[in-house]
Amino acid sequence: MTDDTATNGHDPELEIETAEEAAEADVEALKVEVAALKDQILRYAAEADNVRRRAEREMNDARAYAIQKFARDLFAVADHLSAATTHAPRDFADQVVKNFVVGVEMTEKELASVFERNGLKKLSPEKGGKFDPHLHQAMMEQPGEGVAPGAVIKVLQPGYELFGRVVRPAMVVVAAKGPAAEAPATPAQNPYADGEGDNAGGSVDTKA
């Protein structure tokens, strides 16, 4: 036993060793705490980034689809103009009538141009075109001469999509797959739904 140990009753080397062990324990505890705080900060940062991206996406959607409700209100106008130009007389002798028909046709073209400039695309499949349950709504089926079974025979009402989102499906008549028959096909009972059970026009957005 050294003089210091005899005098004070303590071993300096033992005290130093104990102090070092305590310091090491504190360091390890701080490392664990730092790691936990770092993980928490990373999770908070990831969540904040997700919130920011979600907000940006919602803002972009709001801007892109702001005209959706307004456009729907104009679809009936486009339908009436299309019906008017389709059934307008072409060989009428009266110049006034001819000018009126030309005016209606120009109005229809201008409305179509306005739709296109604002991201609205018309959906009007050609006869014999493939039926797409995400873009079209089958209203009935009929025998189709020269048309593959299940293909489009006629467009009853054109549809529209806005930046890839269907806002109104094209209502069509399709060629019968079985024996000749005419049966309305509602969205809930569509025989031309895809393999995953989606109905015709099932991708139509119902939000204004």
pLDDT 10s digits, 17-45: 677 777 788 888 888 889 999 999 999 99
Per-residue pLDDT of 185-205, as tens digits, reads: 444 344 444 444 444 444 434
Q: Shortest CA distance to 173 belongs to which of 108, 127, 105? A: 127
Cα angle 41, 44, 46 (rounded to 5 degrees) comes to 110
The yes/no answer on whether domain 123-189 falls in CATH 3.40.47.10 is no
Predicted pLDDT of residue 110: 94
Model pLDDT, residue 125? 92
Q: Give 93's pLDDT tier (boundaries 50, 70, 90).
A: confident
Structure tokens at 151: 């293909």
3-state class (DSSP) for residue 108: helix
Question: Can you give the pLDDT at residue 8?
Answer: 55
CA distances from 164 to 64, 120, 160, 180 (A): 11, 9, 9, 34
Helix and strand counts by DSSP (H, E) for the chain? 4, 6
Q: Is the pTM of this model over 0.75?
A: no
**Contact yes or no for 75/111 (Cβ under 8 A):** no
